[in-house]
Amino acid sequence: MFQHILLPTDGSQLSRDTAERAVSFAKAANATITALYAKPIGNTDNIGDLVEPAVLDRLVAGSDSKSKDYLGFIKKLCKDAGVECTTLSVASDSPWEAIVNVAEDNDCDLIFMSKHGRGGLTSLLLGSETYRVLTHSSIPVLVYRPPEIDASRRKAKEKAREKERKRA
């Protein structure tokens, strides 16, 4: 069904876990993967006076080595699994736009990504790249949530219910 999967990464452990699952999925589907890292542009106009230009330059310079590390991890997973993989690093101050644009420009038929699981106010304030991809992409998006995230969320809900019962 799916032949070309876009796999964005931010280098986090969750992103690595998602990459492992995506490679397994691609192998089973006999699909290829394009791995993507959207590195910051480093445009001070986007940040205003919050960050000094010299600090911003160091952050942007460090993103090249991050890109190699993050994409290298996925490339190795693909090689070990026998899955064809290409890697792309694009400069963008808006990761969700880069994800949608790269998926469209490279004729991907699935975007395979994770959700960091921020909820409530944090999600509202910080926004969600995954949510933005879901709402702006015409390409199907598979959102992977590792079982431990669901387990920790269930435990937190159980604790909250227990507290509520004790109050009543």
* The total number of residues written for the chain in this structure: 168
User: Cα(9)–Cα(150) distance, rounded to whole angstroms?
Assistant: 21
- pLDDT value for 65: 81
pLDDT digits (tens, 9 = 90+) for 42-70: 554 554 455 455 554 555 555 678 899 99
For residues 155-160, average pLDDT: 76
DSSP E strands: which ranges in the chain? 4-8, 32-39, 85-91, 110-114, 141-144
Residue 129 pLDDT exceeds 80: yes
140, 3 Cβ separation under 8 angstroms: no
Least confident window among 11-15, 37-41, 67-71, 92-96: 37-41
For 20-27, the CB contacts below 8 A with 24+ separation are 20/77, 21/112, 21/144, 21/146, 22/112, 22/144, 23/74, 23/77, 23/78, 23/81, 23/83, 24/81, 25/112, 25/142, 26/78, 26/81, 26/83, 27/81, 27/82, 27/83
Q: Which domains does the chain have, with CATH numbers?
A: 4-167 (3.40.50.620)
The residues with which 160 forms a beta bridge, in sequence order, are none
Compute the distance between CA of residue 9 and CA of residue 37 in angstroms, rounded to an integer: 5
Quote the pTM value: 0.76
Distance (Å, rounded) from C-alpha 83 to C-alpha 19? Answer: 12
